[in-house]
Structures are given as C-alpha cells and as structure tokens.
Amino acid sequence: MKTEFISPSKIERKWFLIDAEGKVLGRLAAKVVSIIRGKEKAVFAPHQEMGDYVVVINAEKIALTGNKARQKLYYHHTGYVGGLKTVNFLKLMEKHPASPLEKAIKGMLPKGPLGRKLFKNVKIYCGAEHPHKAQNLQKIEF
C-alpha cells in the first residue's frame, strides 16, 4: 500500500458559513477545526494544509453549558514577574466578543507553523455581516 501525496495546486478548497448563534463553544470549535484541517476529506494527510475555509458569524451569541459563563477562566502572562492575569468568560465577551471562539479553535489546532497557517483559514465575525459574499459560501447546520 502506497501513501498518496497531493500537490497543493490539486487540492480543491470550498468556503463554508457557520452561524454560531446558540451553539455550544467547544462543539462548534471542534467542528470548525475538523473542516479547516481537512479531516472530513478522503485524502487527509496530517502534515498538509488541505482543509477548507470557514466563516463564522454571530460569534458574540455563542453559548456555554452550566455555570461555565461565570466560572471559565482565561489566562495570559504579561512577561513580568508575577504577571499572570486571569479574566472570566463574561468579562472577555464584553471586551472582545470573538476572542473565546478564537482561543478555543487555536487550542485545538496543531502547534507550530502548520497550526498558524491553518488558523488563517477561519474568519470569525461578530454580527451577521461579513465581507466574503463573493466566495459562494455553503451554509453548514449541525
């Protein structure tokens, strides 16, 4: 059995639209990552960028289950000694409504150059307006 390698010029890419209104954060992020990695294609290779593009709208209307909206914490370090900062989900949504979804998707992608390249294939917008109407987006419901 031989491994088939596909040149980047032969990979067929599509554009998908996902409405995040009322969707659970982790389930939505897992679906988006599966699409942008290309795991749903028959010719998937973990070392290649062969996935599709995804446009997510209404990112500010994402849902969490249980008490996670108050209890879920996001951490970042300033670079100074004792500079670990925390912010909960609700405060992060007030300041940057698309940030929790971006962080969830980024955390599920491979670390390194491939993951950074794949993250450019997802476009996240607050509200229903987006500038990608010319790409003939296919709507995905799940």
Whether residue 118 contacts residue 36, with contact meaning beta carbons closer than 8 Å, is answered with yes
Residue 83: phi and psi, rounded to 5, are -95, 30
CATH number for the domain that contains residue 57: 3.90.1180.10
pLDDT > 80? residue 1: no
Q: Which two tokens stand for residue 104?
A: 């969830």
pLDDT band at 111 (very low <50, low <70, confident <90, very high): very high
Whole-number pLDDT of residue 9 = 87
| Residue 69, domain member (yes or no) | no
Q: Which helix (H) or strand (E) holds 89?
A: helix 89-95
| Residue 81, domain member (yes or no) | no
**Average pLDDT in the chain:** 94
Cβ neighbours for 136, distance < 8 A, ≥ 6 positions apart:
15
| Residue 30, domain member (yes or no) | yes
- Give the mean pLDDT of 43-59: 93
pLDDT tens-digit map of 52-96? 999 999 999 999 999 999 999 999 999 999 999 999 999 999 999
- Residue 24 neighbours by CB distance under 10 Å: 14
| Residue 110, domain member (yes or no) | yes
Q: Which residue range(s) make up the domain with 41?
A: 13-64+97-139
| Residue 74, domain member (yes or no) | no
Quote the number of domains for the chain. 1
Identity (one letter) of the amino acid at 116? R
> What does pTM read for this prediction?
0.92
Q: Which of 4-8, 30-34, 40-44, 90-94 has the lowest mean pLDDT?
A: 4-8
Residue 127: CA atoms inside 13 Å, Cβ hemisphere, count? 4
Cβ neighbours for 95, distance < 8 A, ≥ 6 positions apart:
87
| Residue 3, domain member (yes or no) | no
Instruction: Please state, in angstroms and rounded to a whole number, the distance separating the CA atoms of residues 53 and 123.
Output: 8
| Residue 19, domain member (yes or no) | yes
| Residue 89, domain member (yes or no) | no
pLDDT band at 5 (very low <50, low <70, confident <90, very high): confident
Instruction: Please state, in angstroms and rounded to a whole number, the distance separating the CA atoms of residues 93 and 71.
Output: 13
